[in-house]
Chains A and B, each alone.
Chain A
Amino acid sequence: MAEFMERPHLVTRTKTLFIAPVAFLSVFFVAPVANSILRYFHFSEFSNVLGNQSLRGVAWFSLWQAVTSTLLTLVVALPATWALSRYTFRGARLVRGVLTAPFVLPAVVVAAGVLAITDSRGVFPILWAHVVFNVSVILRIVGPRWSMVNLRLEHAAATLGARPSRTFSLVVWPQISDAVISAATLVFIYCFTSFGVIAILGGVSRRTLESEIFTQAVRLGNTETATALAVLQAIIICTVIFIARQSSRPNSTFLHVSAPQPLRTKPRHRNTPLLISATAVVIVASPLLATIYRSLVVNNQFSFSAWRTILSGSLPALSVSPQLVIITSLVFAIIAACICVPLALLVASSAAPRALFSLPLAVSAATLGIGLIITFNTSPFAWRSERWFIPVIHAVIALPLVIRALEPATRAIPTSLRNASATLGASPFATWVRVELPLLRPALLRATGLSMAVSLGEFGATSFLSRSGSTTLPIAIAQLLGRPGVATQQAGFALAALMVLVTVGVMSRA
């Protein structure tokens, strides 16, 4: 008996497996970033940056807009997450797809959509665009956990006379809080480091640390200042991640979750979930519709010509055909998911400390980009211009997000299940395949979708890497929108609209 009890979880036993994600991240992330910091970081420049009044203003703006954006995102996303992980109704899958789609879109497209509707600039459009981008993060990370919260507990609480609010705060919240905190941390970081949206919707007076890092490194050639700012940004983000991790710890041991609960079709207040979902969709989908509109209507006339061009024609403003761009992006997304999801699963199911795997969130794209081109520059590691390098970097960037998408589900699997399986004579591998994987399946599908979405939408690091012919969708959209000529720009919006539709399609299945 004792022998069985001691038989540990597959992944923890074979610690060797954990080496894979650690090695991957060390080679493709830690080494280049460390190289960049060792070469360009000087304490004197760091204290200059800290003493600079205008840069302190930039840091303060980054911080408060990120906190506000995160709170607003939670307000919109949590009710929708509840509705979609508890109830099913006609169109629920579509709603899930629509709410996730903006995640892949380039900032300029979402910003143009928001601008088409608000018709003004300033803080409100920025906050709206951030909500549009990030509702999907909450939905994708909290959703799987919420659907695993055992309904019988809620029923028991209700039977004992607890009002819905009390049931939520005493029964549901403790079981989803770590997922919510983890997702909110991510949203905060994405908003904190946002810069495309802020540049377009806020104008030049609104700057974030991330945009200042890019300006200093690329526009002004002050790599030392940029690196000092990047270190400052990383310190702030790591602090936030640390605080969030600390506050989400205690709950994880009291979980009573089980396999995904069946979705109810007949809620007591039938219309509430519908209404909540509809509100979220209106907030998120209107910029998407504006994108589709601009791909179809030009000079008040309806035309499919831009769609015909991107699906079967060619564009002189792109060095490759739009069809090849679409294929390249999809192949990169699949490769990135094939690398990222298995590694993330290893991390998420292991008990080892995983602070390392949050680091890609803390490091600015410009720092990573600079590190990559100065590190992978000599044979046999002269990979910086290789085609496969791009999806590998996408996998690095997606890793923290995908781990967070899997973690709530992996943590929720009770040890007793594994022990029972072992007691019944199953090998750790058999337990993993027959007990854990089926429980993780919804989370794995969502994680794969998220990884593909990150890859499809990634712009910063990709644009930094040199490419020969392997243009991805966001790069192609930026190129098309960066040229005069109505047809060229319409084709840019058509590519963006195609991304929306494909993502809605993929995400409403996963």
Chain B
Amino acid sequence: MKLTRILIVSFLVVIPSACSSPTANTSTDATPNEVTLLAYDAFTPQEGIFDAFTAATGAKVKVVTGGDSGVLVSKAILTAGNPEGDVLWGLDNTLLSRAQKAELLTSYEPVDYGDICVNYDKQWFTSRNIAPPTSLEDLANSTYKNLLVTQDPVASSPGLGFLLGTIAHFGADNWQGYWKSLKVNGVRIASDWTTAYTIDFSGSSGKGKYPLVVSYGSSPPAEVLYAEKPIETPPTAVIASTCFRQTEYVGALRGARNPNNAKLLISYLLAVPFQESMPLSLFVFPTNQKASLPDLFTKFAVAPKNPLTLDPADIEENRDAWLSSWRDLIL
């Protein structure tokens, strides 16, 4: 009986408020002085970082998120010309060409970068007196048999980055041989980053069986910042020679309702205050040379001078063929 009563009361309370919200929303939509930033779910900027923008321009920033970068870009392409917002955050070099083909953006700029690198569990290697691997070649060495977990490159962006890194390093004709030897050496393919890092990897919360994991060059500082109890140094480290560069872009969407505010917001995202807030809120490096890095980043994050890279057009042209030949090799 109690539950029935609660349900009736909530019915009476919730329905009117739910019905009133659309009208409230449409009225803000009609306000010209607003700008909508579309981003992936993991876009968690520093709190209050847009206050300065609103104070300077009078425009309110509405952050709209939905899905990971793949979902975000697919949605943006399906709605190209009639976008859900004004500015798109979250295109990276593996997705850029797809967006260009769909004429998604009127302009775009690199806004941040980071690397996809193999991370290792420091304690696992020291306690066994084994030197951690230092190169991609090492990972196929029998000393490191059954130690590496990576992600499905079809479903996961770090997985794709690692595959592209091996293609950049070994060349378009030889990477298949490398992957064959990785397979022989017991590489584990997890479905996504979360499974690999929080379940299989031994160096983080899951205490899994694999001391080597494909993750980011900025994962070690995140381990310090979000440690359960304060720690001085991260339990994990990065193998710099395995790093594949991932650059993220911010762009103005074609057909945006507030194109002028979009331009203003993009300049704001590229200016020093926002760029300096990114390392500890988004765990990426600023593209603006004038932005300085926090201590935690200079000490523990890795972004090699000469990372592995591939041309976005090259990626777009070959991605499907690479992925299907990877699938044939591994599955």
Is this pair of chains taken from one and the same complex? yes
B223 touches A485 (CB 8 A): yes
Q: For B155, what are the chain A residues with a Cβ–Cβ distance below 8 Å? A: 199, 204, 215, 219
Q: Which residues from chain B contact A387 at a C-beta distance below 8 Å?
A: 21, 25
- B215 & A484 in contact (Cβ 8 Å cutoff): yes
Interface residues of A in 123-160 (CB under 8 A from B): none
A334 to B14, Cβ gap below 8 A?
yes
State whether the Cβ of B3 lies closer than 8 Å to any Cβ in chain A. yes
Q: With A338-B14, A463-B66, A466-B38 as known contacts, state yes or no: A218 contacts B84, CB within 8 Å.
A: no
Q: Which residues of B contact A299 (CB under 8 A)?
A: 228
Known: A387-B21, A487-B227. A467 touches B205 (CB 8 A): no
- How far does the Cβ of A234 sit from chain B's closest Cβ, in whole Å? 20
Once the chains bind, are A203 and B25 in contact (CB under 8 Å)?
no
Identify which of B44, B84, B194, B331 contacts A204 (C-beta below 8 A).
Answer: B331
Which parts of B142-194 form the interface with A (CB within 8 Å)? 152, 154-155, 188-194
Shortest CB–CB separation between residue A203 and chain B, in angstroms? 6
Set of chain B residues within 8 Å of A223, measured between Cβ atoms? 78
Instruction: Judge if B31 is at the interface, Cβ distance under 8 Å.
Output: no
Interface residue total, chain A, C-beta cutoff 8 A: 69
* Alpha-carbon distance between A204 and B331 when the two chains are bound, in angstroms: 7
With both beta carbons as reference points, the residue of chain A lying nearest to B320 in the complex is identified as: A220
Q: Closest residue to B72 on the A side, CB-wise? A: A466
Distance in Å from the Cβ of A218 to the closest Cβ of chain B? 5
Residues of B within 8 Å of A509, CB to CB, are 2-3
The reply to whether A467 and B199 form a contact with Cβ atoms under 8 Å apart is no
B57-65, B129-137, B239-247, B287-295 - the one binding chain A: B57-65
Query: For the complex, what is the distance from the CA of A111 to the CA of B228, rounded to whole Å?
Result: 23
Report the nearest B residue to A305, measured CB to CB. B228
| Closest-CB distance, A437 to chain B (whole angstroms) | 10
Q: Is B219 an interface residue, CB under 8 A from the partner?
A: yes
A205 at the interface (CB under 8 A from B): yes
Given the interface contacts A199-B155, A204-B331, A468-B63, does A486 sit within 8 Å of B84 by beta carbon? no
Binary CB contact string for chain B from 52 to 89 against chain A (1 if under 8 A, 0 otherwise)? 00000000001111110011001101110010110000
- Among B4-12, B108-116, B265-273, B303-311, the stretch that binds chain A is B4-12
Inter-chain contact A373/B79, CB cutoff 8 Å:
yes
Q: How many B residues, CB 8 Å from partner?
A: 69
Chain B residues whose C-beta falls within 8 Å of the C-beta of A398 in the assembled complex: none
Question: Restricting to A442-489, which residues have a CB under 8 Å from any CB of B?
Answer: 445, 448, 463-469, 471, 475, 478-479, 481-489
- In the assembled complex, the CB of A64 is this many whole angstroms from the nearest CB of chain B, namely 18
Please name the residue on chain B nearest to A306 by beta carbon: B228
Report Cα–Cα, A200/B18, bound state, in Å: 37
* Choice from A205, A331, A483 contacting B226 with Cβ under 8 Å: A483
Whether the pair B205, A489 counts as a contact (CB closer than 8 A) is yes
Max count, chain A CB within 10 A of own CB: residue among B38, B65, B225: B65
A466 and B66 form a contact (CB under 8 A)? yes
CB contact between A303 and one of B228, B281, B327 (< 8 Å): that residue: B228
Contacts known (A319-B65, A464-B71, A479-B41); A490 close to B228, Cβ less than 8 A: yes
| Closest beta carbon of chain B to A287's beta carbon, Å | 13
B62 touches A478 (CB 8 A): no
Shortest beta-carbon distance, A398 to chain B, in Å? 15
With A and B bound together, what is the CA distance between A391 and B17 in angstroms?
Answer: 13
Contact B79 A377 (CB under 8 A): yes
Q: CA A203 – CA B189 in complex, angstroms?
A: 7
Residue-wise, chain B 12-25 has the 8 Å CB interface mask toward A (1 for contact) of 00110011011001
Can you list 24 A-B pairs, Cβ within 8 angstroms, ordered by A?
A199-B192, A199-B195, A200-B199, A203-B191, A204-B154, A204-B189, A316-B226, A319-B43, A319-B44, A319-B45, A334-B7, A334-B14, A335-B15, A338-B11, A338-B14, A382-B29, A464-B75, A466-B84, A467-B65, A475-B41, A484-B226, A486-B204, A487-B226, A487-B228
* Those 7 A-B pairs whose CB atoms lie nearest each other, nearest first: A485-B226, A199-B191, A466-B66, A484-B222, A489-B205, A484-B219, A204-B152
Extra contacts, 14 of them, besides A391-B18, A467-B66 (Cβ < 8 A), are A199-B191, A204-B155, A205-B331, A218-B70, A370-B75, A464-B71, A466-B85, A468-B62, A483-B226, A484-B215, A484-B222, A487-B228, A489-B205, A510-B3
Residues of B within 8 A of A (CB): 2-4, 7, 10-11, 14-15, 18-19, 21-22, 25, 29, 38, 41-45, 62-67, 70-71, 74-75, 77-79, 82, 84-85, 98, 152, 154-155, 188-195, 197-199, 204-206, 215-216, 219, 222-223, 225-228, 281, 320, 323, 327, 330-331
